[in-house]
Chains A and B, each alone.
Chain A
């Protein structure tokens, strides 16, 4: 199944939903002041994207064209409710910190985007892989951003104090820093893509 591997790899690198397609920005900025929150959020999104793509692909022939979006939203909302109940039951602290952003997974454009762009034309298994790995790509970006922000802002990683003695860069845990960090990441990745394209063209 080389095909599935390519699908999975593309979702993490070349077509990374956050850095290349600029989707799912709201939550990637809001939950990235702590690594733990980002990890939970990213896994939640991977779960929802994977399973909703799978379900939508299964239901494809049954859904009438006209109410397609509505049904998709229902499917996504169903899985988000599962994630929310799970978090409330087993991780009440994190659930409280994430607050409305768990519910906002419903309006995360990545999920609807994968459902429309991939799951609607492909069989269930590739759809599951595509959805799940687009979520993993999102998770990785979140971890990079939150690593920078938590390390510089609190001097901790996953809440564990590293014992380093430096003045904490408080701005890093405040909203503006989220914009700066993601701007630099996007700059870096698109500059690299442009360079790679130029090389391809010249050779």
Chain B
């Protein structure tokens, strides 16, 4: 049985109270690596949102109509990761053919996203929490928007920080973690809004 939580609550909670990056630490690798420029960061954020929604709706269907009826739960990791890789590949081909503008913007990020743990993480969360279809859809939309918001905030701050003089050793990942920590601290303030998750 799906948990009795309004999908809208899940949507807002996955942006603010259980943000992918700031509360669940998912997708950190690309979050740190591609956050030195606002424009690219924003492109990656949009691509992650798109892939999250498409792949995880597909994964939801596969889990409920293939894995569960056949009792293949022990194989779910392999199946999920295959679905993610396949959909990302198809999406890239499709965008290349029919939406060249969008492909020029987001195309370079797509292969990177296959190994972004935010995607698989969201899949596993929705399976563990047993979300219904509508809950899954809004959870992934919210997670994507939350991830996008976090990465553009970090990128915007890092762009401004480019001119600042930092102590040796702190520049690069060190300061990025500190900034993220402060952002996470601010997001803890949201946690009182919803009692869920």
A positions within 8 Å CB-CB of B: 22-23, 25-27, 29-30, 70, 73-74, 77-78, 80-81, 84-85, 99-100, 103-104, 106-109, 112, 174-180, 182-183, 186-194
CA distance A180 to B77 in the complex (A): 31
Contact between chains at A187 and B184 (CB < 8 Å): no
Nearest-Cβ distance from residue A123 to partner chain B, whole angstroms:
26
Nearest-Cβ distance from residue B88 to partner chain A, whole angstroms:
12
Contact between chains at B124 and A175 (CB < 8 Å): no
The residues in B between 63 and 78 inclusive whose CB is less than 8 angstroms from any CB of A are: 74-78
Stretch at the interface among B43-51, B52-60, B92-100, B172-180: B172-180
Contact between chains at A175 and B22 (CB < 8 Å): yes
Contact between chains at A100 and B121 (CB < 8 Å): yes
CA distance A29 to B115 in the complex (A): 18
CB neighbours of A25 from chain B (8 A): 25, 28-29, 32
CB neighbours of A176 from chain B (8 A): 22, 181-182, 184-185, 188
Contact between chains at B74 and A106 (CB < 8 Å): no
Nearest to B120 among chain A residues (CB) is A107
CB neighbours of B24 from chain A (8 A): 30, 175
Contact between chains at B29 and A103 (CB < 8 Å): no
Nearest to A174 among chain B residues (CB) is B188
Number of interchain pairs (Cβ within 8 Å): 117
CB neighbours of A100 from chain B (8 A): 120-121, 124-125, 128
Contact between chains at A81 and B75 (CB < 8 Å): yes
Partner of B170, one of A29, A30, A107, A187: A187
Which size class do B's interface residues fall under?
A: 35 or more
Contact between chains at B121 and A109 (CB < 8 Å): no
Nearest-Cβ distance from residue A118 to partner chain B, whole angstroms:
18
CB neighbours of B25 from chain A (8 A): 25-27, 29-30, 175, 178
CA distance A109 to B116 in the complex (A): 9
Contact between chains at B78 and A77 (CB < 8 Å): yes
Partner of A191, one of B115, B120, B169: B169
B192 touches A (CB below 8 Å): no
B12 touches A (CB below 8 Å): no
Partner of A108, one of B117, B168, B172, B185: B117
Contact between chains at A106 and B178 (CB < 8 Å): no
CA distance A77 to B120 in the complex (A): 12
Contact between chains at A77 and B177 (CB < 8 Å): no
CA distance A174 to B22 in the complex (A): 10
Nearest-Cβ distance from residue B11 to partner chain A, whole angstroms:
19
CB neighbours of B5 from chain A (8 A): none
Known interface pairs A26-B117, A100-B124. Does A194 touch B81 (Cβ–Cβ under 8 Å)?
Answer: no
Contact between chains at B28 and A26 (CB < 8 Å): yes
B167 touches A (CB below 8 Å): yes
Known interface pairs A25-B29, A25-B32, A188-B169. Does A179 touch B124 (Cβ–Cβ under 8 Å)?
Answer: no
Nearest-Cβ distance from residue B149 to partner chain A, whole angstroms:
16
CB neighbours of B121 from chain A (8 A): 26, 100, 104, 107
Contact between chains at B177 and A85 (CB < 8 Å): no
Partner of A179, one of B117, B125, B168, B177: B177
Query: Which residue, A22, A80, A112, has most C-beta atoms of chain B within 10 A?
Result: A22
Contact between chains at A22 and B173 (CB < 8 Å): yes
CA distance A133 to B25 in the complex (A): 24
B137 touches A (CB below 8 Å): no
Nearest to A109 among chain B residues (CB) is B29
Additional pairs, 4, CB under 8 Å, beyond known A70-B85, A189-B169: A30-B25, A81-B75, A177-B181, A191-B169
Contact between chains at B188 and A175 (CB < 8 Å): yes
What are the nearest 6 A-B pairs in CB distance?
Answer: A191-B169, A179-B181, A100-B124, A183-B177, A176-B184, A190-B169
